[in-house]
Structure 1
Amino acid sequence: MNQIIRIGMDTSKHIFQLHGVDASEQVVLRKRLTRKAMLEFFTKLPPTVIAIEACGAAHHLARELGRLGHTVKLIAPQLVKPYVPRNKNDGRDAEGLCEASSRPRMRYVPVKTAEQQAALMLLGVREQLVGRRTQLSNTIRGHAAEFGLTEAKGLDKLAAFLAAIERDERVPVLARELFVMLARQYDQVQTELKAIEAKLRAWHRADATSRRLAQIPGVGPVTAAALVMKAPDPHAFRSGRLFAAWLGLTPKDHSTAGKTRLGKITRAGDERLRQLLVVGATAVVKQATGKRRRGSRWLLDLLQRKTPKQAAVALANKTARIAWKLMATGEDYDRARFDAKSDAEVAAAA
């Protein structure tokens, strides 16, 4: 067999399909292996480049194969799809991975360490618990409304609402027992959520980059930690605009024949990270549109021309660029400097 220079590997829980080529790009390997056989195969194989789709357990496989001396490249699924021929199957997927990894301009997903994935679990578990808390809150309010009991919005009002339901003799005994059960579940979720958020705050305080990012208006500990955990190496982007484009906060470009056509934001990249930035920017916009009208001149001028929602997305874009600058240079956030720059942009546009 000729020397294999590159292998595309389609992965699943138990079956792994391999497609390898030599230096002349001729196919020299087509093999279907079980998980155990796959590891034994790569243990005996001389170091080579292995392309894997960035999906579930891909980072674990990349770490395991990296220990064997191989160079593992993770590729986002949407970047592999154009190289997969018609009539999709495991063999064609592996062939598409092998072909995609040969492209000089291909972008790769950095392999995460076990510690980085453990930190990401904090965000995932917290998001799941917040969703469960919202679900329980809505369930309680929905069932209570069937008995003519309502309460104002807000999680802080739910405990008193449940206590009132428990004392209300108009509610049947069976329903009150079920409300007590829901209340126990809600209290348990609240306790677990507080524990997770304490761990997340401790992680945030221990990370210097996360603390610096939290200085940006609209960026709290959760958003700062998410930026550090989820964003790739900032030096992989030439500018803050490219970082904002990676987050999906730049307009879609559908220009042709010299005519520029820009649409809505692309919504590419990490959905949760983009959501956190937009929610934080919405809070800043809310302050700017309040009675005190607190905000930079750039934002106040923007709000005169755009709706609050559009201004929030634009501010999220600006926040992402500032975050990239702080991560790439190691600088601290200087509010006076960025406000002055914003005012200069407003003056130049006037």
Structure 2
Amino acid sequence: MQYPTIGIDTAKDVFHIVVADPAGRPVKKVKLKRNKLAAFMANQPVSMVFLESCAGSHHWARAFTGFGHRVEQIAPQFVKRYRNGDKNDFNDGQACIEAGLRPTVRSVGTKSVEQQELQSLQRARTLVLGQRNAVGNQLRAMLAEFGVVVARSIGALRRRIPEVLEDAENELTDGMRRLVAEEFERWRGLAERVEVLRGRIERGSRTDAKMKRLQKELEGVGPLSAAALWTAVADPKAFAQGRQFAAFVGLVPRQHTTGDRPRLLGIRKGGQNELRALLIHGARAAIRHLGDKTDPKSLWLRALVERRGKNRAAVALANKNARQAWAILCQAA
């Protein structure tokens, strides 16, 4: 059965809607305020609805699915390729339809509210973590100007700053001591906030069966990595195989092939940056604690470290973990 198609250029307040026939030919164009969008979509016949994946699109996808529509979200980079003419809101809505009707354009799954809640915790932790590191680096830089050097570790900063403030022999003036004390207090507040958010993520990871299994079966995958894996995709079965999921994360080499001569380069810098970093850091921790383990995976990892070095081995283990995580998530879906 062929359904009418609807392309929506999502926004904060004003939505531009293109209603088209099953082939994608525009029938009418509508501009609506946010408070009228739900009622409009509820009165439409069952349709294929294409949204540009952006802030708020998961909310609307869940709402439109509740009205009986079939909803697909299209990544912005794909929408841009199919825009005709200058950029305006109606052209963006038509581009959503054009991209969504293409069989080779992958859609973005709709995440549940639980996934979005956990993902929001992760984003908040990442933001506060960056702020904590920035304030810590600023403290080190300011003190270095007065001949006081603090090591680049969280523990050293926590121990050293009170000692510096109490030391009457250094060059710090009264005003500078007051500034350092204020910035150190701000740094401590951010550090405490990081731990609070981390604890909330870990509690969520311990109560979900899928995330508990990820931590149990994968080397170097802890609560943060398990949570990031679960929230990365709405439907893991959208990937045909584990290699596609690893490529989505950014853990496969870039390829430059011409004349049937394949050439593999370094791993991608795109993809899911935070998830990739967590998997690689976890893999490095697994390598550090490899010890004298004799299970097949440890033997493979030890041989890989000896043959290719720790950095490449860490990426290889992260890639393997991503593939196995995809299989676990598919089984649980």
Q: Please indicate, yes or no, whether the TM-score normalized by the shorter chain is above 0.5.
A: yes
> Does 2:307 align with 1:308?
no
Cα offsets for 1:126-180 (capped at 9, x unmatched): 1111111111111111111111111223211222212112212232111111111
Bigger drift between 144-153 and 253-262 goes to 253-262
> Does 2:211 align with 1:178?
no
**3-state SS, counterpart of residue 74 of structure 1:** strand
For 1:108 and 1:135, locate their aligned partners in 2 and report how far apart those are by CA, in whole Å.
Answer: 37
Q: CA deviation at 1:258?
A: 2.4
For 2:234 and 2:114, locate their aligned partners in 1 and report how far apart those are by CA, in whole Å.
Answer: 15
Structure-2 residue corresponding to 1:270: 272
For 1:50 and 1:329, locate their aligned partners in 2 and report how far apart those are by CA, in whole Å.
Answer: 28
Cα offsets for 1:54-101 (capped at 9, x unmatched): 101111222233333332211111222221124222222111101111
Structure-2 residue corresponding to 1:261: 263
8 Å Cα contact 1:226-1:273 kept in structure 2: yes
**3-state SS, counterpart of residue 72 of structure 2:** strand
8 Å Cα contact 2:24-2:98 kept in structure 1: no
Q: CA deviation at 1:304?
A: 3.5
> Does 2:12 align with 1:10?
no
Tell me the matched-pair count.
325
Structure-1 residue corresponding to 2:196: 195
Unaligned runs of 5+ in 1: 331-350
Instruction: Describe how 1:159-178 pairs up with structure 2 within 5 A.
Output: 159-169=158-168, 170=170, 171-178=172-179
Structure-2 residue corresponding to 1:326: 328
Bigger drift between 191-200 and 120-129 goes to 191-200
Q: CA RMSD in A?
A: 2.2
Structure-2 residue corresponding to 1:128: 127
For 2:330 and 2:221, locate their aligned partners in 1 and report how far apart those are by CA, in whole Å.
Answer: 17
Corresponding letter in the other structure for 1:308: K
**3-state SS, counterpart of residue 123 of structure 2:** helix
Task: Describe the shift of the 1:25–1:61 C-alpha distance in structure 2 as closer, same or farther (beyond 3 A).
Answer: closer
Q: CA deviation at 1:46?
A: 2.2
For 2:77 and 2:284, locate their aligned partners in 1 and report how far apart those are by CA, in whole Å.
Answer: 30
Structure-1 residue corresponding to 2:69: 70
Instruction: Describe how 1:1-350 pairs up with structure 2 within 5 A.
Output: 5-169=4-168, 170=170, 171-215=172-216, 216-287=218-289, 296-329=298-331
**3-state SS, counterpart of residue 107 of structure 2:** coil
**3-state SS, counterpart of residue 87 of structure 2:** coil
For 1:176 and 1:287, locate their aligned partners in 2 and report how far apart those are by CA, in whole Å.
Answer: 41
* TM-score, normalising length: structure 2: 0.89
Task: Describe the shift of the 1:242–1:188 C-alpha distance in structure 2 as closer, same or farther (beyond 3 A).
Answer: same
**3-state SS, counterpart of residue 108 of structure 2:** coil
For 1:24 and 1:129, locate their aligned partners in 2 and report how far apart those are by CA, in whole Å.
Answer: 47
Cα offsets for 1:1-20 (capped at 9, x unmatched): xx970011112222222222
For 1:92 and 1:317, locate their aligned partners in 2 and report how far apart those are by CA, in whole Å.
Answer: 39
**3-state SS, counterpart of residue 296 of structure 1:** helix
Q: CA deviation at 1:184?
A: 1.6
For 1:111 and 1:236, locate their aligned partners in 2 and report how far apart those are by CA, in whole Å.
Answer: 11
Percent identity of paired positions between Structure 1 and Structure 2: 35
For 1:121 and 1:154, locate their aligned partners in 2 and report how far apart those are by CA, in whole Å.
Answer: 27
8 Å Cα contact 2:9-2:92 kept in structure 1: yes
Query: Relative CO higher for 1 or 2, CA cutoff 8 Å, sep ≥ 6?
Result: 2
Corresponding letter in the other structure for 2:116: Q
Unaligned runs of 5+ in 2: none
Task: Describe the shift of the 1:153–1:267 C-alpha distance in structure 2 as closer, same or farther (beyond 3 A).
Answer: closer
8 Å Cα contact 1:8-1:94 kept in structure 2: yes
Corresponding letter in the other structure for 1:315: L
